[in-house]
Structure 1
Amino acid sequence: MTDSPTADLLMIAMSRPATLGPGRLICVDGPAGSGKTTLANALADMTQAPVVHMDEVYAGWDGLADGIAQLETILLPLVEGAPGSYRRYDWHAHEFAETVLVPPSPLLVIEGVGSGAAGYDGLRTALAWVDAPEAERRRRGIDRDGDTFAPHWDAWAAAESEHFARDRTEARADVVVMT
């Protein structure tokens, strides 16, 4: 392994067989505010891979399970070489908006809470777990999303903790990154 989690994750993914038709899938999971987007963006910068952000597929603050369910419409068509898709959630309108197409590509990165859901293990090429101390994650989340996230933090944290415990996400990760 190298000193770069981004390089390590890419090396792992490229050393394994393709899982989405001819393409590979890297998922970057972990609790809110941990640094998942930063790692996913670094992967995209290094590879030009498209990134799907789970924040666009959750059905609001209570939508973790619905977001995870949308992985099916993204991933299963890609296995067959067809574009996947998802409905983008409009956080200001509090409803789903347009359908976003995800074309087949040599590498796809999906980042966000639930992106590493165990139900899709057979389609994932590599999984990263990103974490940070709770106080730091909370500060980052509130700094990023402002006061709109603050009243929802505790409920969201409880939902993601329950999901991670059930799916054992961190234990299944190929790379663990503490930020």
Structure 2
Amino acid sequence: MHGGRTNVETLADEVRRVRAAAGRPVVVGVSGFCGSGKSTLARALVGRVPGAVRMRGDDFLDPALSHARSDDWSGVDRVRLRDTVLEPFRASAGGSFRRYDWSARGLGAAERLPGGEVLVVDLIGLFHPETLPSIDLTVWCDLDLETAVLRGQHRDRVLGRDHERLWNDVWVPNERDFAARFDPRAAAAVLVSTR
């Protein structure tokens, strides 16, 4: 299925196949541009795969750095995600992790790592050398940047968030730079049209 474009039902079948072949819990990474539908796809996938749980990627963002220019999405705390969530989950090691608490502006209390057979993580900047070895199946929300940005901006307006400057000055340039440097679409085993 490498590079193949698919839908959520076929993706769910592929996840089950990868899990059966691995013989251990697996991590499914869902990435794409801001506004491309990562969270929506992750929730739909968890609803179709028995034993699947979701980890919100936004819980691993640093708000100061995620609002700053970067060519590698440095606001994504990939090392913390890998070391406290991805690797322990794959090893059935249990353990705890800490989400970023946006209201307290710092890491929240330690939480028990969820158990399951499949962990679905949706996050910008996920397909990076720091995390790729810890992901068993890479899924790209295949939507062009311009359309993804329009969707994301619309979502923010509906939610009453004024992020126009961030979109224009930070997030869109970060997306372009990350794509040019790491080619995350090419790193995906599966492309899902989220149009």
* TM-score class normalised by the smaller sequence: 0.7 to 0.9
Q: Could you tell me how far apart the structure 2 residues matched to 1:161 and 1:61 are? A: 20
Within a 5 Å distance, the mapping from 1:163-174 to structure 2 comes to 163-174=178-189
Within a 5 Å distance, the mapping from 1:145-156 to structure 2 comes to 145-146=156-157, 147-154=161-168, 155-156=170-171
Contact 2:27 2:86 in 1 (8 A): no
Within a 5 Å distance, the mapping from 1:48-59 to structure 2 comes to 48=50, 49-59=52-62
Gaps of 5+ in 1: none
Which residue is 2:176 aligned to? Answer: 161
Q: Could you tell me how far apart the structure 2 residues matched to 1:157 and 1:118 are? A: 21
Q: Pick from 78, 83, 88: which aligns with 1:68? A: 78
Which residue is 2:69 aligned to? Answer: none
Which residue is 2:43 aligned to? Answer: 41
Partner secondary structure for residue 118 of structure 1? coil
Which residue is 2:190 aligned to? Answer: 175
Q: Could you tell me how far apart the structure 1 residues matched to 2:149 and 2:5 are? A: 27
Quote the sequence identity (%).
28
Task: Give 1:85 shift.
Answer: 4.0
Residue identity opposite 2:121 in structure 1: I
Distance 1:42 1:111, change over 3 A: same
Task: Give 1:35 shift.
Answer: 0.9
Which TM-score applies when normalising by structure 1? 0.82
Which residue is 1:29 aligned to? Answer: 31
Contact 2:78 2:131 in 1 (8 A): no
Which residue is 2:102 aligned to? Answer: 91
Gaps of 5+ in 2: 67-72
Does 1 or 2 have the higher relative contact order (CA < 8 Å, sep 6+)?
2
Q: Root-mean-square deviation (CA), in Å? A: 2.6
Q: Could you tell me how far apart the structure 1 residues matched to 2:178 and 2:95 are? A: 24
Which TM-score applies when normalising by structure 2? 0.76
